């Protein structure tokens, strides 16, 4: 653990390549898109929605991901309207500050638009994208860890606590590395959803409902040790959004439970 802490203190949020300054967060967002692409491509193929040699999965990852980044930034700046109005350009183009719920809304809207545009069965395409979305979220969280953008947790004396003296939001205290917790949870959720999707007689929409519930619960719990301020009913904004995610997941599960099981094509 001591070696890990020494290694981590040397990490910086940007990689300097000559005159270029590449943000590590952006690199991990790109890695998240690649990871999500391979999972989505495999899931769409096994469901008979698209062959692996088509560009369909690329489109269903790239467009929602880009829209999600824009939505996450807009949601973040609008969470603090006073700071946004004081410096709108600086807030919009700052190198950190993305809100998970804003990204979820914008990415989901883009995904729905694509599904309608290309006439895919809505519940089946949501199921196919669930494991990919979970894994992509986890990989993207590594970017938060590398950049030290303030997504870490409260101070801790646990042996795996980390400090971020060179982060975008620096701290010399040892804190909970919450992005690592979320990465572990996201990988576990992605594995569960992938296994659920292997059942061909499962009702369309069940995997998506499980995604909403599991990711909502995971994010709600990790917020208890995050440094985010409390607002609505003593919860953080992310916790309030997580509650909505769980409620939506339960509603989808109830809805699809009333439908007859549908066998997917082999």
Q: What is the pLDDT of residues 178-208, one digit of tens each?
A: 999 999 999 999 999 999 988 766 788 999 9
The reported pLDDT for the residue numbered 108 is 85
Interatomic CA distance for residues 23 and 19, integer angstroms: 13
Is the pLDDT at 39 greater than 90, yes or no? yes
Residue 215: pLDDT band with limits 50, 70, 90? very high
The encoded tokens of residue 162 equal: 């980390």
The reported pLDDT for the residue numbered 94 is 63
CA angle 181, 187, 191 (to 5 degrees): 145
pLDDT digits (tens, 9 = 90+) for 41-76: 999 999 888 887 788 888 888 888 888 888 877 776
Residue 2: pLDDT band with limits 50, 70, 90? very low
Range with the largest mean pLDDT of 204-208, 230-234, 235-239, 258-262 = 204-208
213/98: higher pLDDT: 213
The reported pLDDT for the residue numbered 71 is 80
Structural contact between residues 183 and 142, judged by C-beta atoms closer than 8 angstroms = yes
Interatomic CA distance for residues 70 and 177, integer angstroms: 25
Q: How far is CA 79 from CA 82, 109, 145, 148, 228, in A?
A: 9, 20, 22, 20, 12
| DSSP classification of residue 224 | G
The reported pLDDT for the residue numbered 249 is 95
The reported pLDDT for the residue numbered 216 is 94
Scan for tokens 């638009």, then name that residue.
Answer: 113
CA angle 89, 94, 181 (to 5 degrees): 145
- Mean pLDDT confidence for 203-231: 90
The reported pLDDT for the residue numbered 7 is 43
Mean pLDDT for the chain overall:
82
The reported pLDDT for the residue numbered 97 is 62
The reported pLDDT for the residue numbered 52 is 79
Is the pLDDT at 83 greater than 70, yes or no? no
Q: How far is CA 136 from CA 29, 62, 189, 247, in A?
A: 8, 12, 11, 23
pLDDT digits (tens, 9 = 90+) for 120-133: 999 999 999 999 99
The alpha carbons of the chain give a radius of gyration, in whole angstroms, of 19
- Mean pLDDT confidence for 86-103: 63
Interatomic CA distance for residues 239 and 233, integer angstroms: 10
- Mean pLDDT confidence for 152-161: 89
Is the pLDDT at 4 greater than 50, yes or no? no
The reported pLDDT for the residue numbered 92 is 61
Structural contact between residues 146 and 50, judged by C-beta atoms closer than 8 angstroms = no
Domain ranges of the chain: 2-12+21-257
């Amino acid at each position: 653990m001591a070696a890990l802490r020494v290694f981590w203190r040397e990490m910086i949020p940007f990689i300097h390549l000559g005159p270029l300054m590449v943000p590590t967060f952006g690199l991990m967002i790109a890695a998240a898109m690649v990871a999500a692409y391979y999972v989505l491509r495999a899931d769409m193929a096994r469901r008979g929605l698209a062959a692996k040699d088509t560009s369909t999965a690329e489109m269903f990852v790239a467009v929602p991901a880009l829209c999600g980044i824009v939505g996450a930034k807009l949601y973040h700046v609008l969470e603090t309207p006073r700071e946004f109005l004081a410096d709108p350009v600086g807030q919009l183009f700052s190198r950190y500050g993305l809100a998970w719920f804003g990204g979820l809304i914008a990415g989901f809207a883009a995904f729905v638009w694509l599904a309608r545009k290309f006439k895919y069965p809505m519940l089946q395409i949501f199921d196919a994208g669930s494991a990919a979305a979970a894994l992509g979220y986890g990989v993207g969280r590594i970017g938060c860890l590398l950049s030290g953008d303030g997504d870490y947790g409260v101070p801790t004396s646990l042996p795996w606590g980390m400090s971020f003296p060179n982060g975008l939001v620096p701290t010399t205290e040892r804190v909970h590395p919450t992005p690592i917790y979320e990465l572990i949870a996201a990988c576990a959720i992605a594995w569960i959803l992938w296994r659920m999707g292997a059942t061909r007689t499962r009702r369309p929409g069940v995997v998506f409902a499980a995604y909403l519930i599991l990711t909502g619960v995971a994010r709600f719990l990790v917020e208890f040790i995050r440094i985010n301020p409390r607002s609505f009913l003593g919860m953080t904004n992310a916790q309030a959004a997580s509650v909505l995610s769980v409620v939506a997941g339960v509603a989808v599960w109830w809805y699809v439970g009333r439908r007859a099981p549908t066998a997917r094509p082999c």
